[in-house]
Each structure stands twice: as structure tokens, then as C-alpha cells.
Amino acid sequence: MDITSEQLGERTVMRLAGRLDGRWADHLSRELDSRLRLGQHHITLDMTETVFLSSVGIRVLMNFYKKFKALDGSFAIQSPSQQVGEILQLAGLLKFFTPAATAPSAPARAANVSRQHASATTRFEVFDLGGSGMVCRTQGDPARLDGCRFTADDCQRLSLPASTFALGLGALGGTFDECRNDFGEFLALAGSAVCLPGNGSTQCDFLVAEGGYVPEIQSLYSLACDGQFGHLVRFESIDAQRPTRLAELTQAALELVDAPAACIAIAAESGGLIGAALRRSPAAGAQADAPWGFPAMRQWLSFSTERLDAGSMVIAAGVVAHESRCPAALSSFLRATGMAGSPLGHVHAVPFRYKPLPEGLIDLQRVIKPFIDSESAHTVLHLLCDDRDAQQPEESHFIRGALWVAPLTFGTSQP
């Protein structure tokens, strides 16, 4: 099968010449998947020269019809050959693929865009959400990770309703003693909490708010933010070979809210992640050289020296601040997100199998819940900048996605 394409405004027309059967179905699937990754959400298949359509081919067409519909996109067939048209008509499927039924909606989303701009590497599209911002509460002392000195006195139960974003070191369970060997990185966002147990597990555990049920976590230290995001920023790397750096996203967030500190959430295609996660619980018993001593740190930490999970869909969130204006309440929690002069941050990320995001204005909770409900996460990474080579520091990169932003104020720290 030969596939050629033409761009007509928002719509991509792909011309299929040959047989759409078991031999060529995977070829078309890969091509359509690549179009989705490129953000092309309105596809028309010109099947004038498609001489044969098998049941395997029909399965591919219906699968992508559902994918594009879920993204508020469109997936149509124009000018089907007689054979293709008859098969789809007899199967009762032709109605799904008519251009009128799948036409893209009017471009009303542009009215919600407050501004568009571009940096040297990234295009940004900003939507105002009207949220009033978030109040941040700090709990615990991250310095107690030195020597793994956490005890029951450090542990607090943290409630995680949908309005609360939180990250830190914690475990899912009822008491400190129950969780003693399981504490590890966690991320809670939009009613879902994901935790990587510090017991050597290669599988995350999670809790999701359902009905009146609100997830809770036993926390050794945490940053918890309550309120509403004020802005949604859709971003895309201008050149996929030069993905957007985490430091650039944190800088864009701080400039947008014009505040010393901000809360961010990210749903984006990964260009590779740099970070670390605990292999062992820091509450299992104090050890003088844990977790930073060498070579013992190999037993305590997994650390990526090169970017991981490229091509995955990443759900991430954290707190960021200007280096020169960092609020005192955050100073012990934040580290540089990039090279010298970059914003400070504490960001946790959970990679999932790639699924494209809808275009334009999207809801954070609706984006995140399908990943938590249907996917298994293998890690929660604390994103870091590997600055051992000062000339070429390594940091996490993103290709395209969504960034939610809110300015931070501060409430009373928990005991």
C-alpha cells in the first residue's frame, strides 16, 4: 500500500492506494499513530484507489475513529472505491466516516486563548482559567532524609481530595508502623494518589477518589497545595529534536503568574526524564551513610544518568520558585531544575504508556483519571538536574503537552 498526504488547513488528507488487508493494516496504524503524536487530530482518508478492504482493515478504521473522537478530533473517509463503499455500507459503518458526521467543530477555542507566543525552542498557547491560585502547606523536614532518621513523630496523615495537589515521601496505609518499610516518593493530583513503595517494588500503588471516598497517605514530608489553577498553557517544541527543557517550563510558569513561587501540573509527551527514586524506605532505621554515602547509595537510590521513558505520556506536578525570590518556607524542599540561574523546584513525575491529549482547553482531572484507572505505573521519579558536568547539565525534556499553573501563597505548616 502507498500512502501520500496533503495538509488542507487543520485537516490532513491521506491517500491510500492498494489493499488495506492484514499485510498492510499495521503499516496504516503506525502512520496514523505518528500523526496523532504530531498533533494532527483531523484526518481524512481518500480511498479512491483502495482496491480491497478486509475485516482487519475495518478494525483499524474503527479503532482510530474512536481514538480521534475521544480527542474531539475527526476521522473521515472521502471518495471510497466501489468495493470499499459497499463493504462499509453493508457492515453499517459508512455513517461513522462521512465527512459531514466527522467534520471538525468550529474553531471557537481561539476565543478562549488569552495569548500566544514562542521562545527559541517552544510555542506557547495560554488559556485563562479564572482560578484564584493555591495555598501551600509544608509538612516535615526533608533534611531528615540524611541518615534516614524518620520516625513515627515525623509521620502525618494527609488527606487528598480532588482540590489538593501534594508530593513528597509517603506510603499508602493506616499507620506509621504499617508503612515503616514502604515509604517512597508519592504524587497526588486531581483526586488520584500514586506512590512508589520503598521496598524494592517495581510497581506503583495508587488510590483514586470515588464518590465520598477521599484518599489518604501517611506522609514523612510533603508540599500540599489547595485551590485552583489560574492558567492552562499548551506547549509544543518547535523542533522535536530539541525538546523543551523542564527549566524552560518552570521559567514560563513563573513569568506567567508573576509571583515568587508557583504550583504546576504537567501532562505531556516525554522527551526523556532525569530523576531519582528511593529503593528502600527511609523510615526502616537510621543509618549514618544512608542514602547518599558511596557505594551504599546504589542500594538506596535508583538514579537515571541518561534520560528515561522518552515517548511516554508523563503526568507530573510540583512547586517552583525564582532562585533569588524563593520563599523561606520552601527553601529546604527545592533544588535547581536546570543549569545555574534556572528556577528552583520540587517536581515528581509518573510515566505512562503514550496516549495523545485533546487539543485546546482541557480539564486536568479528566485528563489524568483515565491514566490512573487503566494503566500501571512503574515509578514515581523525583525530577533532578544532573549537573556533574557543569558545561552540559542533563535535565528532563518534554515534546508537547499541557501545563497548568497557579501562583502560591502560604498557609500554616502542619506539625
Please tell me the predicted confidence (pLDDT) of residue 390: 66
Same domain for 147 and 220? yes
pLDDT digit string, tens, across residues 68-108: 888 888 999 999 999 999 999 888 888 888 876 555 554 44
pLDDT grade for 217, boundaries at 50, 70 and 90: very high
Q: Is residue 110 included in any domain, yes or no?
A: no
Please tell me the predicted confidence (pLDDT) of residue 203: 87
* Residues spanned by the domain of 37: 2-105
Among 106-115, 174-183, 301-310, 402-411, the minimum mean pLDDT is found in 106-115
Please tell me the predicted confidence (pLDDT) of residue 251: 96
Q: Looking at residue 77, which CATH number applies to its domain?
A: 3.30.750.24
Residues in the chain: 415
CB atoms within 10 A of CB 50: 24
pLDDT grade for 412, boundaries at 50, 70 and 90: low
Please tell me the predicted confidence (pLDDT) of residue 414: 46
In this structure, what DSSP letter does residue 107 have? S
Q: Which residues of 59-95 are buried (b: 16+ CB within 10 A; e: fewer)?
A: ebbeebbebbeebebbbbbeebbeebbebbeeeeebe
Q: Is residue 253 included in any domain, yes or no?
A: yes
Same domain for 148 and 41? no
Same domain for 293 and 250? yes
Q: Is residue 415 included in any domain, yes or no?
A: no
Q: Write down the mean pLDDT value for the chain.
A: 89
Residue 150 is placed in which grid cell? Answer: 524518620
Same domain for 55 and 161? no
Residue 215: is the preceding peptide bond cis (ω within 30°)?
no
- pLDDT average, residue stretch 172-178: 94
- pLDDT average, residue stretch 277-283: 94
Please tell me the predicted confidence (pLDDT) of residue 340: 82
Same domain for 281 and 172? yes
Complete DSSP assignment for 318-348: EEEE-GGG--GGGTTT-EESSSTTPPEEEEE
pLDDT digit string, tens, across residues 285-295: 888 888 888 88
- Share of residues in the chain with pLDDT > 90 (%): 63
Whether residue 349 is predicted with pLDDT greater than 60 in this model: the reply is: yes
Same domain for 172 and 70? no
Same domain for 330 and 232? yes
Same domain for 331 and 243? yes
Whether residue 395 is predicted with pLDDT greater than 60 in this model: the reply is: yes
Same domain for 397 and 372? yes
Last residue of a domain, one of 105, 126, 147: 105
Last residue of a domain, one of 105, 131, 163: 105
Same domain for 204 and 97? no
How many domains in the chain? 2
Q: Is residue 189 included in any domain, yes or no?
A: yes
Q: Is residue 266 included in any domain, yes or no?
A: yes
Please tell me the predicted confidence (pLDDT) of residue 112: 58
Same domain for 138 and 14? no
Last residue of a domain, one of 105, 125, 159: 105
Same domain for 65 and 143? no
